[in-house]
Amino acid sequence: MAYKTCDWCGRSYKPMFSADRDAGNAFADAMGLTIGVKAIGGIARLAGKRNFCSKQCKLAYENSKNGGNSSNTESSGENSTVQESNGGTMGGIGKMFGDVFSSTGEEMKSMFNEKKENKAKTEKIVNLQFATDKEELQNQIQNLFTQISALPRFKTPEQKALYNAIKEKLEFGIMKLNSSGAAAEADFFQKKYDKLK
């Protein structure tokens, strides 16, 4: 006899004919298909039956059909099997899709937060006021170089906007440093800036 798939847990099993027939007959009786048994030769009794690999799966299915939410546990030696009444193959598929949608939702939330963070950083760069003190101005410019180098090579539109804002500020900062009499430092930062292009 061919292998069958359990309608509750999804496991493949090779049924014993008599147990399989009895399960089908019980289902047929429950559905009222016993009327045509003699005319059709017993085929109607097996039509529409469910396949279960064990009594635990059958009991779990019946509990779920009757609206029971309890789980059934059987222990034998070292092995312990737990079948929940809300599962089976469909429960596993539902959980899988739930996990996929949950992880997709988390990714979307993460992307949204990253966009928001990059916009806030861009706004902060745009509003940055350079110091008049040469040392503090150099520190600000070095900080901008650190921020721009932390951005990835392939940028999202928000990261590209941040990159462009930093470049613009660097250009202005280098010009301001040069006009404050720190030509050597301005030249050093200009060479670093030229590598960005």
pLDDT for residue 31 = 55
pLDDT for residue 77 = 45
* CA angle in degrees (0–180, nearest 5) for 77-83-84: 145
- Write out residues in the chain with pLDDT < 50, as ranges: 18-22, 25, 33-47, 69-87
Q: Is 171 left (phi over 0), alpha (psi -120 to 50) or beta?
A: alpha
pLDDT for residue 115 = 87
pLDDT for residue 104 = 76
* CA angle in degrees (0–180, nearest 5) for 148-152-158: 75
pLDDT for residue 89 = 55
pLDDT digits (tens, 9 = 90+) for 56-86: 888 888 887 776 544 444 444 444 444 444 4
pTM value is: 0.47
pLDDT for residue 85 = 45
pLDDT for residue 40 = 45
What the block records as the tokens of 192 is: 């670093």
pLDDT for residue 93 = 63
